Amino acid sequence: MIISADQQFSSVIAAFTRVGWRLEDQAINYRAIYSGGIDINGIAWDRLLDNIGLAVVYLDGGNGQIIRTRIAEGYYRMEIKPQLAFAFDIQYMRDEQSQMATAKGVIYSFRTTFVF
């Protein structure tokens, strides 16, 4: 089950939260997710269709090796045309595991959306 809530505070700022849980009747990496963040609309810098997102995520480990995962994320989405947008994303992720040392790292990504 996942519960999702979004709230627009102004024409520039919005916030979101997602919480979810699942059964452990199968092998799973995570039994729960708790996340939240803000979205800043590009109207603040005269790019109405662009936006910046900042989020934090906590994943509670399931019945495998992962105890918990923490993620911090930031992205910038730039719309070039109504059919074309680019998103630049950076995430810091930290896994705590029962049988291994803590794994952590930075993940960079670039996404393209093309609507036809």
Q: What pLDDT does 109 receive?
A: 97
Q: Are 92 and 108 in contact (CB under 8 A)?
A: no
Spacing of C-alpha 93 from chain mean position: 11
Q: Could you tell me which of 66, 71, 68 has the C-alpha nearest to residue 98?
A: 66
Q: What pLDDT does 23 receive?
A: 84
Q: What pLDDT does 16 receive?
A: 97
User: What tens digit of pLDDT does each residue of 88-110 get?
Assistant: 999 999 998 888 888 899 999 99
Q: What pLDDT does 88 receive?
A: 97
- In this prediction the pTM is 0.83
User: What tens digit of pLDDT does each residue of 48-69 get?
Assistant: 999 999 999 999 988 888 889 9
What letter would DSSP give residue 82? T
Distance CA 100, CA 93 (A): 16
Which burial class, exposed, middle or buried, applies to 42 when counting CB atoms under 10 A from its CB (0-12, 13-18, 19+)?
middle
